Amino acid sequence: MSLLESIRVALEGIRANKLRSFLTTLGIIIGIAAVIAVVAIGQGGRAVLMSEMEKVGTNIFAIYPDWQSGEQPSGRSFDLSDVQVLKDKVPGISDLSANSVTMDDVRGSKDKKYSQVWGVSAEYEHIRKLNIKNGHFFSKEDDSLGRRVAVLDQALAEEIFGRSEPVGNKVSIGSTPYLVVGVVAKGDSMLGFSEEARAFIPSRSWTNMFGPYINNLEGSAVSREKVQEAMDQAVKVLERRHRDNKYISYSMEQQMQSANKITGIMTLIIGAIAGISLFVGGIGVMNIMLVSVTERTREIGIRKALGARRKDILTQFLIESVVLCVLGGVIGMILGAGGAYLIAKVAKWPPLVSWWTALLAFTFSAAIGIVFGILPANKAAKMDPIEALRRD
Amino acid sequence: MMIQVSGLNKIYNSGEHPVHALIEVNLEVKAGEFVSVMGPSGSGKSTFMNILGGLDTPTSGSYRLDGIEISSLDDTGMAKVRNRKIGFVFQNFNLLPRMTALRNVEMPMLYAGLNARERVKKATTALERVGLAGRIDHRPNQLSGGQIQRVAIARALVNEPAVLLADEPTGNLDTRSGEEIMAIFQDLNRSGATIVLVTHELDIALHTSRIIHFRDGRLEADEKVENPLDAVEQLKKLGPAHQNSPRSGEISAPGALTEAVPHSQTLSAEQGRKGDAR
């Protein structure tokens, strides 16, 4: 019997038992819908995460003292002159900033807040692509002279100045007065970089005030491809200059790769859980196919008497279970894609139902049909025609 | 020789004691013969028919059908023989209830690998031959018992088999429909078909040209029928359909496939009487 004819016979059987067929395939529908939705949401979430990270910059990197391989950082891991030396010696570096951070009271005209106080170089603005709302970021000259100028982020500015304009006014960091020269606008980033209350002051001013404790160097490479090379060279130069220290480097590129890996693993795990429901659905299909084979014993006997080989009977029931599962798969795919689309719309993610997920779901449901159809089909094929014809 | 059976034995080992269902059966049937097989239940005639039909294999002995040794074939070979060489007609019709007459008749050709156009053409021709040209799109539950059996005959004929095997084909039918079925068989036989028919009604057996009797697994008697009854003549004697049997030919058979009415005693008694009268 031809494949087309087998499919026609299978569809006749399914149409004859509409409700039962639907209930049988419900497990497959739910399973496929869950897999499609989960994978689509995972893909959408990953795409959002990646675009956020790209917004921060794909060619930025940071160098830290390696705490594991040495003693506690002496505080002398870096000094301010490193910045210029590295920029001269490593051609791949585009901008570089010496970063330090501490917590201190920051007092404005209205209120004070215990906030992060960052010592950074002037180039920090470019590295982090800061969006200056009012005024300007401090200059290289401010930095090299250690001027007492500060840039606040919007959250801090609003808290300590209220509605009054902070630019041109004074803040006290600890007990030292600083002139506010700029306010960093709140970013639209979902990663939270611009949500905290922070004050930025030139790194030289910071070391003058709090001591020579430089936390890390942060910079950007001339291109995404040059990041690794620039980092490696910078670490070598640093290790020559500070012989007792080891350094470790991170890049956004690496972070993106590991974030990619993590979201991939998450998708896989949730997908596997959804896959279990597919397995359960498959068992349901097997169950009903076994019932169907028993019910249609007489039909099997007739077909055998008319010349059906074992192979023909096997194929007929196998195709019936595959058709059932694939129908479920297609319905599940539509529901899953619809669900993913809805969730993506609410979460403002791109709905990502890729053609390969659809293909995978299709193939997978067909495979379930074969795997869970083989036992009932084999039972049918092995039936003795005389016994089968005798049955009511 | 169309059918050549020699030294055929069938032993069932299912219970504690082996059962000899067939013992040393020898039989030859020429092409174009119309043979009936009779015998009480348990006589081995059903087992014999199953072996003739390629549904069962003998324990020992030889069975040649149209020159092919059947007893040594595997499942695929047997399936091919059932498909090409044998046409089955059953007592309980055995049509698939959810399919139209046409689709039912197409089925043997599906397994023979014919394409759709050929199948429809040949199935239509076969249904026309049994007088059901106007019923090809009816399902079994829209047909009378006699019509259903005629669909089954069309299905048996459609692959042009070497032998038609009919197992109590009139057993579930009223007299008139039974005669109509016998008329079709006689017509087919006249145009060359080899037919083997199982029955336990002498009246039906007398329509054939040779009667074989089974008893206790042995072929007990093999006799020639001198003047076989002519079904067309018998139908004329029965008179117009509405007088004798108002429902004749119109008996609806809901669930034709599952219907397994035991053979009517009154029907066979009546037929026996008619047989005596002759």
Report how far residue A346's alpha carbon sits from residue A29's, in angstroms, rounded to the nearest whole number. Answer: 23
**Residue B142 vs residue A267, higher pLDDT:** B142
- pLDDT, residue A359, reads 87
Inside any domain, residue A61: no
CB spacing of A386 vs B50 below 8 angstroms: yes
- pLDDT, residue A1, reads 65
If we measure between CA atoms, which residue out of A270, A285, A261 comes closest to residue A374? A285
Number of domains in chain A: 2
Percent of chain A with pLDDT over 70: 95
Residue B228 distance to chain A (closest CA, Å) = 30
- pLDDT, residue A188, reads 56
Helix (H) or strand (E) holding A386: helix A385-390
Does B264 score more than 50 pLDDT?
no
- pLDDT, residue A45, reads 81
CB spacing of B79 vs A302 below 8 angstroms: no
Residue A304 touches chain B, beta carbons under 8 Å? yes
Same domain? For A111 and A20 the reply is: no
**Residue A272 vs residue B162, higher pLDDT:** B162
Q: Which residue has the tokens 């039974």?
A: B178
B177-182 average pLDDT score: 94
Same domain? For A92 and A37 the reply is: no
Same domain? For A84 and A165 the reply is: yes
Final residue of a structural domain among A187, A213, A245: A245
- pLDDT, residue A274, reads 79
Report residue B216's pLDDT band, with 50, 70 and 90 as the boundaries.
very high
Does B277 score more than 60 pLDDT?
no
Same domain? For A226 and A313 the reply is: no
Final residue of a structural domain among A213, A245, A277: A245
Interface test with B, best of A292, A306, A311 (most B CBs within 10 A): A306
**Integer angstrom CA distances of residue A200 from A55, A95, A218, A309:** 21, 17, 14, 83
Inside any domain, residue A62: no
Residue A1 distance to chain B (closest CA, Å) = 5
Final residue of a structural domain among A220, A245, A270: A245
Radius of gyration of chain A (CA): 33
B26-52 average pLDDT score: 93
Burial class of residue B29, CB neighbours in 10 A (0-12, 13-18, 19+): buried
What's the whole-model pTM score?
A: 0.71
Inside any domain, residue A101: yes
pLDDT tens, residue by residue, A131-154: 888 899 999 999 999 999 999 988
If we measure between CA atoms, which residue out of B210, B178, B184 comes closest to residue B196? B210
Inside any domain, residue A59: no
B89-97 average pLDDT score: 93
Helix, strand, coil distribution of chain B in percent, nearest 5:
40, 25, 40
Report how far residue A289's alpha carbon sits from residue A21's, in angstroms, rounded to the nearest whole number. Answer: 10
Same domain? For A353 and A300 the reply is: yes
Inside any domain, residue A345: yes
Interface test with A, best of B94, B155, B258 (most A CBs within 10 A): B94
pLDDT tens, residue by residue, A182-238: 999 876 554 545 467 899 999 999 999 998 888 899 999 998 888 999 999 999 999
Same domain? For A201 and A279 the reply is: no
Report how far residue A211's alpha carbon sits from residue A205's, in angstroms, rounded to the nearest whole number. Answer: 10
Q: Which residue has the tokens 């004070």?
A: A112
How far is CA B112 from its chain centroid?
A: 21
- pLDDT, residue A349, reads 78
Give the domain extent around A325.
3-52+257-390
- pLDDT, residue A328, reads 92
Q: Which residues of A touch B75 (CB under 8 A)?
A: 309-310
A–B: how many Cβ contacts below 8 A? 65
Same domain? For A71 and A46 the reply is: no
- pLDDT, residue A74, reads 57
String of DSSP letters for B147-213: HHHHHHHHHHHTT--SEEEEESTTTTS-HHHHHHHHHHHHHHHHTT-EEEEE-S-HHHHTTSSEEEE
Report residue B7's pLDDT band, with 50, 70 and 90 as the boundaries.
very high
Residue A387 touches chain B, beta carbons under 8 Å? no
pLDDT tens, residue by residue, B50-72: 999 999 989 999 999 999 999 88
Residue A71 touches chain B, beta carbons under 8 Å? no
Same domain? For A44 and A73 the reply is: no
- pLDDT, residue B268, reads 37
Report residue B230's pLDDT band, with 50, 70 and 90 as the boundaries.
very high
String of DSSP letters for A346-373: HHTPPP---HHHHHHHHHHHHHHHHHHH
The overall average pLDDT reported for chain B is: 86
Instruction: Find out whether B198 and B149 touch, Cβ atoms under 8 Å.
Output: no
The overall average pLDDT reported for chain A is: 87
How far is CA A154 from its chain centroid?
A: 28
Of residues B55, B82, B98, nearest to A16 (C-beta): B98
CATH numbers and ranges of domains, chain B: 3-238 (3.40.50.300)
Report residue A4's pLDDT band, with 50, 70 and 90 as the boundaries.
confident
- pLDDT, residue B278, reads 36
A-chain residue closest to B255, CA distance: A392
Non-local CB neighbours of A116 within 8 Å, separated by 6+ positions: A101, A102, A103, A196, A197, A198, A199
Which of A338-352, B77-91, B110-124, B148-162 bottoms out in mean pLDDT, i.e. has the lowest? A338-352
- pLDDT, residue B41, reads 87
A29-41 average pLDDT score: 86
Does B74 score more than 80 pLDDT?
yes
Same domain? For A184 and A330 the reply is: no
Inside any domain, residue A252: no
Same domain? For A130 and A22 the reply is: no
Interface test with A, best of B91, B100, B110, B148 (most A CBs within 10 A): B110
Helix, strand, coil distribution of chain A in percent, nearest 5:
60, 15, 25
Same domain? For A217 and A291 the reply is: no
If we measure between CA atoms, which residue out of A356, A367, A368, A329 comes closest to residue A32? A329
**Residue A71 vs residue B272, higher pLDDT:** A71
The residue length of chain A stands at 392
Residue A311 touches chain B, beta carbons under 8 Å? yes
Q: Which of A282-285's residues contact partners 24+ apart within 8 Å by CB, and which partners?
A: A282/A27, A282/A28, A282/A325, A282/A368, A282/A371, A282/A372, A283/A27, A283/A372, A284/A24, A284/A26, A284/A27, A284/A28, A285/A24, A285/A25, A285/A27, A285/A28, A285/A321, A285/A324, A285/A325, A285/A368, A285/A369, A285/A372, A285/A373
Report residue B263's pLDDT band, with 50, 70 and 90 as the boundaries.
very low
Inside any domain, residue A250: no
The dihedrals phi and psi of A391, each to the nearest 5 degrees, come to: -70, 145
B129-136 average pLDDT score: 92
Same domain? For A113 and A191 the reply is: yes
Which of A3-7, A156-160, A202-206, A306-310 bottoms out in mean pLDDT, i.e. has the lowest? A3-7
Does B247 score more than 60 pLDDT?
no
Report how far residue A182's alpha carbon sits from residue A176's, in angstroms, rounded to the nearest whole number. Answer: 18
Residue B257 touches chain A, beta carbons under 8 Å? yes
Q: List all residues of chain A from 366 to 385 with a beta carbon under 8 Å from chain B.
A: 385
> Token digits for B121?
């053409």
Residue A386 touches chain B, beta carbons under 8 Å? yes
